[in-house]
Amino acid sequence: MMFLVSEVHPFLDGNGRIARVMMNADLVVAGESKIMIPTVYRDDYIGALRRLTRRSDPDAYIRMMERAHEFSENVYGDNRDEMETYLQSCNAFLEDTEGKLLKIIPRTL
């Protein structure tokens, strides 16, 4: 559904956001964690979607979504400040020209 809404673009604005909301709703129903696309990973996300659209090649898209899912399911914190600190430590809020998404930082108990 996420790719279909992104591909068809049925709305004047917000197609990507709506596609990701629909995808995450399906993941929650299936008992899976939601998927976030960090700012620093946005170009990889868009590039993988383009490759799937233009070349009918799903491999890059699948790898990108798997990495985003792995990252997202490890975001932790008991409140917004803790989560934001974790996301900052992974470079999630940087532009792709400013850094790369860092590997998941294990939670210390």
Q: What is the pLDDT of residue 95?
A: 95
> What's the pTM value of the predicted model, to 2 decimals?
0.82
Six-digit token string for 49 = 């979607």
Q: pLDDT-derived band of residue 4, with 50, 70 and 90 as boundaries?
A: confident
Mean pLDDT of 19-31: 93
Q: What is the pLDDT of residue 52?
A: 92
pLDDT tens-digit map of 35-90: 999 999 999 999 999 999 999 999 999 999 999 999 998 888 889 999 999 899 99
Long-range contacts of 73-80 (CB under 8 A, 24+ apart): 73/32, 73/33, 74/104, 74/107, 75/36, 76/107
